[in-house]
Amino acid sequence: MKQAIVIGGGAAGLSAAASLSAKGWNVTLLEKTDRLGGGFRSVRLGSYHFDLGFFPVTMPWMIERVYREAGTFMDPTLTFQPLDVCSRHFFQDGTWLDVSADPDRMGRELEKLSPEDRREFLEYLNEVGRMYEAVEEHFLERPAGAWSDLLSVKAFKAWWSVHPFESADAFHRRYFDDPRLVAVLNRYAAGVGSSPFDVPATVSLISYLDMVQGACAVQGGHDVLIASMESLVRSRGVRIETSCPMEGLLVEEGRVTGVRAGGEVWKADAVLLAEDPGSGSVLPPEVTDALLDTPRISAFVMLLGVARTFPHLHHHNLFYQDLAGREYIELFDQREWPRSPVIYVGHPGFSEPDRAPEGKSALCVMVHVPAGMNDSGSDDLAFHREWLLDLLESGWGFLGLRESIEEEMILGPRELEELTGAPDGALYGPAAHGWRTFARLPARNRKVTGLYHAGPWVCPGGISLSAVSGLHAAHIMHRDAEEAGIEREAVKTGS
């Protein structure tokens, strides 16, 4: 039986482990922190229940695929609750826009905000829908182990058709005049940890997921999904070791032979890295490549248990201080904490009232900041707490917020790293800037035989895409092992 080691117990690692074990591999999953789930998790403070999540979940059928590939049905206790409004966007002029997959509702929203742009909107949706289909067929459905796997005429045409050389911002401005609408669409770039000024228009297809397919929430919180995936993987015989960080990769004559982790040597035929190598990488430079120079973004997060309700909130809410997108320049070019950030406020109690006691709210407030920066520890966090509470109270309908806080947890990049295992608190891997967005790091490592990659470094864009990247990596590992077996057999028999 082939032995695989999977590094990282997030969605990508769990999906890969499930698929490999169903293909007959003996799988060991090593996780650095004391729990599984990585960035996808819930937090409880007193009687408040938060999800550490800043975007709705899209494409839940990708998660279903993990169960199918493991040879079973979707866990019947798991419910992906559709959101009638994927996200609510508030602007400084007092207007707001609800993004929804209901075409009539979306039409009414656009009519209210910008009637001229409503006509263009259908054309825009057709174009991003076409881009989505091209990406789905050539990059999401088919595992690409190496760049050569994408070198068919059809794949090239698909890649060319998704505007790889036009920025998302330029693409949106081609369709829309209203700066509020452009700011909302540009925001999808942040969902893959990127700037709309530098990420290719390809990323706009994520708006298609929200606006056509719709988004959802995991009923009961993110931990429910991770617990279900964990029991799936355990039921398939995968050995899971938590608090077991990989310390180094073992390579002999260009082939991986195992890893050093938790002070021990673990031997394997193949190793899958389903984690963000990050800045303090234990991997050789040839493995991490130039991607480590690319900016990565993290967050400043306040989980607030508040003894009041805020009727203007939906489940996912965004507050725009500035429509010109200065935040992206500050984050990606100047690598500073932004002065006019888009503020995200998650309010899961909108969909599940039992997330907070009656008449109270569990709010997850977040702004993006560069990864790896807590300038001066807790003083810095306290300063930013005051700044963000001032912004919310003064302009966005949160009067009395500060005095109503009953429970709170404040997290900068360093605290997020401790909680989620993401190096430097980076939420999404390196920024997807440039034309390689949807296949940044091929799943099969080019330099080290038997070494594979999954997760945000391979395929940015949230939990479902991470799960798919884990499945793809598992397919490629299995295919490579089978082909190597056939070659060995041929050498033995001399055929």
Ligand X SMILES: Cc1cc2nc3c(=O)[nH]c(=O)nc-3n(C[C@H](O)[C@H](O)[C@H](O)COP(=O)(O)OP(=O)(O)OC[C@H]3O[C@@H](n4cnc5c(N)ncnc54)[C@H](O)[C@@H]3O)c2cc1C
Q: Which residues bind ligand X (CB under 6 A)?
A: 7-13, 30-33, 38-40, 52-55, 57, 245-246, 274-276, 416, 420-422, 427, 455-456, 462-463, 466
Give the amino acid at 468.
V
What's the rounded Cα separation, in Å, for the pair 247 and 474? 23
Pick the closer one to ligand X by CB: 75 or 178. Answer: 75
Pick the closer one to ligand X by CB: 54 or 320. Answer: 54
Pick the closer one to ligand X by CB: 57 or 302. Answer: 57
Please state, as a whole number, how many other Cβ atoms lie within 10 Å of the Cβ of residue 104: 8
Both tokens assigned to 284: 């050789």
What's the rounded Cα separation, in Å, for the pair 484 and 444? 14
Cβ–Cβ under 8 Å, residues 434 and 167: no
Pick the closer one to ligand X by CB: 78 or 158. Answer: 78
Element holding 470 (H helix, E strand): helix 463-493
Q: How far is the CB of 209 from ligand X (least distance, A)?
A: 10
Q: How far is the CB of 474 from ligand X (least distance, A)?
A: 13
Please state, as a whole number, how many other Cβ atoms lie within 10 Å of the Cβ of residue 486: 10
Paired with 320 in beta bridges are 342
Q: How far is the CB of 11 from ligand X (least distance, A)?
A: 4
Pick the closer one to ligand X by CB: 176 or 338. Answer: 338
What's the rounded Cα separation, in Å, for the pair 30 and 114? 51
Q: Which residue is nearest to ligand X (CB)?
A: 421
Longest CA–CA span in the chain (Å) reads: 80
Q: How far is the CB of 412 from ligand X (least distance, A)?
A: 12
What's the rounded Cα separation, in Å, for the pair 41 and 364? 13
| Phi–psi pair at 304, nearest 5 degrees | -120, 120
Both tokens assigned to 7: 């590094």
Q: How far is the CB of 118 from ligand X (least distance, A)?
A: 29
Cβ–Cβ under 8 Å, residues 477 and 270: yes
How many angstroms separate the Cα of 144 from the Cα of each of 287, 328, 408, 458? 18, 31, 43, 10
What's the rounded Cα separation, in Å, for the pair 38 and 223? 10
Radius of gyration of the chain (CA): 22
What's the rounded Cα separation, in Å, for the pair 170 and 110? 20
Q: How far is the CB of 461 from ligand X (least distance, A)?
A: 7
Pick the closer one to ligand X by CB: 145 or 421. Answer: 421
Q: How far is the CB of 126 from ligand X (least distance, A)?
A: 25
| Phi–psi pair at 106, nearest 5 degrees | -65, -40
Q: Is 459 helix (H, G, I), strand (E, B) or coil?
A: coil
Both tokens assigned to 482: 């089978």
What's the rounded Cα separation, in Å, for the pair 462 and 457? 12
Both tokens assigned to 275: 């984690």
Q: How far is the CB of 359 from ligand X (least distance, A)?
A: 26
Q: How far is the CB of 465 from ligand X (least distance, A)?
A: 7
Pick the closer one to ligand X by CB: 221 or 325. Answer: 221
Pick the closer one to ligand X by CB: 155 or 371. Answer: 371
Q: How far is the CB of 224 from ligand X (least distance, A)?
A: 14
Pick the closer one to ligand X by CB: 22 or 57. Answer: 57
Please state, as a whole number, how many other Cβ atoms lie within 10 Å of the Cβ of residue 378: 11
Pick the closer one to ligand X by CB: 226 or 392. Answer: 226
